[in-house]
Amino acid sequence: MAGSAILVGPVDQLLAVWDGKPASGYGGTADVVDYARRTGTPVRVLWPAGATRT
Which pLDDT tens digit goes with each residue over 4-15?
899 899 999 999
Report which residue type is found at 19.
Answer: D
| pTM for the full predicted model | 0.84
Residue 13 pLDDT: 97
Non-local CB neighbours of 49 within 8 Å, separated by 6+ positions: none
CB atoms within 10 A of CB 32: 21
Half-sphere exposure of 46 (CA within 13 A, CB side): 5
H/E element, 44: strand 43-46
